[in-house]
Amino acid sequence: MRRAASALLAVILALSLALPAAAATADQRLSQVTLAVKETLDIPDTYTEFSGDMAEMETGTIWSLQWESADRSLRISADEEGKIFQYNLTVDREDTGPAAFPAVSRAQAAKAAQDFLDRVLSGEESAVVSTDDSVLRIDGNNQYRFSADLLLYGLPSPIGISVTVDGQTGEVLRYNRNDLYDMHVGTVKDPAAVFSGEAQRAAAQEKAAALLKGTLQLRLEYVLDDSGERAVLRYLPESTHTYYVDAATGELVDLTERLQDAAVAGDGATGGANDSATESGSLSQAEQEGIAKMEGVWSKEKLDQAARKWTQLGLGGCSLAACTYWLDKETGAVTATLRYNDGDGWRRTVTLDGKSGELQSVSGPTWRDEDLKVKVSVKTAQATAETFLQALRPEEWAVCGLYKSMEAAEGSRVHTFVFAQKENGYFFPINCISVSVDAVDGTVVSFYGSFDEAPVFDSAEGLITPEAALDAWFGTYTVTLGYVNVFQNLKDYGSQYQNLLDMGYTYLYSLELGFQLERENYPSGIDAKTGKPVYPARLDRTITYDDLEGCWGRAQAEALADYGVGWLGGSLQPKKQLTQLELMALLVSLEGYLPDLEEEGAADQVYDWAVGMGLLTRAERDDGALVTRGQVVKVILDYGGYGAAAQIPGIFRCTFADEAAIPAELYGYAAIAQGLGMVKGDGGGRFAADRTATRVEAVAMVYQFMAR
């Protein structure tokens, strides 16, 4: 049957190839694509239904092929030549139930993914999957997901690939490459045609490294150390454009500039909503106490007078449209937000201390209409900003210097100045004040400041040179040869892409061979005294235990940790009595959420997950409550879908030494747990339902349940 069908398709394919592309009919083209895809993937003839449709776009034709049978559904997206971009296989099979170990190992799944990629990728395209780039979700449909870069001539490209493998059968379920609807102009250069050998390639890389290093810039300023109490000097990267060096020409290309040239400016506007409040007909004691916290708050009229005192804000001719108050429940501070308009709409929003009238911040419209002309120079605007700050924040202003400024430009009608604290001749920008001045009328449009108590400043002695810092910063990169997405003006290609120009396209990407700076880890800067890169503390989500020597549950704990199930923190604390929070944290890790219980708010998130999984109700939350062995068994079996059966009376028998002492409501659970091998009894063969469970016992029960 299959041989006959393939022969028929071959005949149709031969006929369609003899026709010009425009002359081939839709069914002939579908036959051609279908045959190519079947030959690539060896799709069997067991499917009972098939259909295909196409989407013809400027970027090319994409075919959607669909095979159906009683228990399987396969959908594939491919181009006219049969190149496969997406693959989605759905198989109806019995669910293994929650939290079961996959039958296929990570290594076996990686091999299946690689074999699939070797089939669908050909010519200059390839990809390599690694177990290090895999994610496993342990649930009723255990699946491994692998990610990789598409390689062109063995070199990395910006095209990403993902492959999902069934953890029970080893079948590839999904494949996706993210360039389905991308269109690249030009041709992909073969490195062999650019470099005559390794010596030429190495020389080109050395020259590229020098050019790319020249694009890097650092600034020296104070930052807080990890303690948050001391400020240290650090060389930090300036925001720069992204560059690459064209491998064929050796030219340094500014990718950011190319994008900016192609960018289309847009207008924006913001609007506001009226604030409203509700009142109660009667006041409770608590409500009266809350209202008392508003004692001493200024009226909106008095606050309006305080705001208008600052003539630089340009409130003359404006009316007060709204005044809202906000109470900080912890500190008792009250802020008042006054909203002004000038008849044409919103003009200024002014925030004051509700009890003193002290100006805290200002905001206003900053966008610039096309017909607005700059009338106030940067120099004049800066003088206005400085005079304003000297009067408003004299003590803070005394320790500040001009950190940076931004001139009014297309789309913006304000000159903006940022003043930051300066110590030992270097800026500490955590403490800063920003002021924006209208370039048309010279008023202060916005103001805000963040000025905390100054830390202890490290001395400015013994600093490395800027050149040494730049060398250290450049050393955190590798100069990599690969393919780069480069924005191209279609007009540069003459009439080659005239059809796209006629459709309104002006720029498209090409894949160019070039050298770029890449890194795996991203330092925040270079220590100005040691010259070493400073890397932010990374949250390690790997489960490791340092106290398993001689522990009877070591194998189970380590096996679960390999699947991402367990507790963070570095220690199992096997004999520690188990709390409800710890049990919930262990069980939610089965669903892929691995909390760090030391983090603020982690417990709330754990219980959010636990409630969503049906492990307990919010009313049952009791973080520190100790959990018995019987309760652990019940929660796990309820989660696993055995709860309804466990509660049927009179149908179970178990052989625990303390069978007669097992509470009636837990007897069915004990019997099922024994039958599944989940609980084998303590040292005396007892179920010990009422004894507080230890952490290692909980881990062992989860492991045995998953291995059922």
> Quick one: 143 and 29 in the same domain?
yes
> Quick one: 441 and 306 in the same domain?
yes
Asked if residue 48 belongs to a domain, the reply is yes
Q: DSSP assignment, residue 184?
A: B
**Strand partners of residue 137:** 143
Domain enclosing residue 452, as ranges: 302-457
* CA distance linking residue 686 with residue 91, whole number of Å: 43
> Quick one: 571 and 692 in the same domain?
yes
Q: What is the pLDDT of residue 271?
A: 35
Which pair of structure tokens corresponds to residue 28?
Answer: 């002939």
Condensed to tens digits (0 to 9), the pLDDT of residues 264-282 reads 423 333 333 333 333 334 5
Condensed to tens digits (0 to 9), the pLDDT of residues 185-199 reads 889 999 999 999 999
* CA distance linking residue 586 with residue 590, whole number of Å: 7
Coil vs helix vs strand at 472: helix
**Secondary structure element (H or E) that encloses residue 389, with its range:** helix 378-392
Q: DSSP assignment, residue 618?
A: G
> Quick one: 159 and 42 in the same domain?
yes
**Secondary structure element (H or E) that encloses residue 30, with its range:** helix 26-41
Q: What is the pLDDT of residue 263?
A: 61
618: CB partners within 8 A, 6+ apart: 607, 611
* CA distance linking residue 129 with residue 132, whole number of Å: 8
Asked if residue 514 belongs to a domain, the reply is no
* CA distance linking residue 444 with residue 411, whole number of Å: 18
> Quick one: 702 and 562 in the same domain?
yes
**Residues of the chain predicted below pLDDT 50:** 1-19, 21, 264-281
- The widest CA-to-CA distance across the chain, in whole angstroms, is 93
* CA distance linking residue 138 with residue 161, whole number of Å: 22
Q: DSSP assignment, residue 272?
A: -
Last-in-domain residue among 146, 177, 208 = 177
* CA distance linking residue 697 with residue 57, whole number of Å: 60
pTM of the model: 0.76
Q: What is the pLDDT of residue 679?
A: 93
Last-in-domain residue among 442, 457, 472 = 457
Q: How many residues does the chain have?
A: 708
Residue 692 burial (C-beta neighbours within 10 Å; 0-12, 13-18, 19+) = middle
Asked if residue 225 belongs to a domain, the reply is no
* CA distance linking residue 484 with residue 514, whole number of Å: 7
Distance of CA 619 to the CA centre of its chain: 33
- CA proximity to 190, closest of 489, 627, 483: 483
Asked if residue 492 belongs to a domain, the reply is no
First and final C-alpha spacing in the chain: 42
- Annotate 567-603 with b (16+ C-beta within 10 A) or e (fewer): bbeeebebeeebbbbbbbbbbbbbbebbbeeeeeeeb
Condensed to tens digits (0 to 9), the pLDDT of residues 9-25 reads 444 444 444 445 455 78
**Secondary structure element (H or E) that encloses residue 493, with its range:** none
Q: What is the pLDDT of residue 652?
A: 92
Q: What is the pLDDT of residue 95?
A: 61
Asked if residue 486 belongs to a domain, the reply is no
Asked if residue 91 belongs to a domain, the reply is yes
Q: What is the pLDDT of residue 467?
A: 97
Total structural domains within the chain:
3
Q: What is the pLDDT of residue 542?
A: 85
Name the residue with tokens 């932010």.
536
> Quick one: 170 and 319 in the same domain?
no
> Quick one: 433 and 561 in the same domain?
no
> Quick one: 570 and 689 in the same domain?
yes
Any idea of the CA torsion for 511, 163, 77, 34, to the nearest 10 degrees? 110
Condensed to tens digits (0 to 9), the pLDDT of residues 53-78 reads 988 776 678 899 999 999 999 999 99
> Quick one: 450 and 568 in the same domain?
no
Q: What is the pLDDT of residue 126?
A: 97
Last-in-domain residue among 404, 434, 457 = 457
168: CB partners within 8 A, 6+ apart: 93, 96, 102, 103, 104, 142
Asked if residue 521 belongs to a domain, the reply is no
Q: DSSP assignment, residue 161?
A: E
Asked if residue 475 belongs to a domain, the reply is no
Q: What is the pLDDT of residue 131?
A: 78
**Strand partners of residue 221:** 234
Q: What is the pLDDT of residue 251?
A: 97
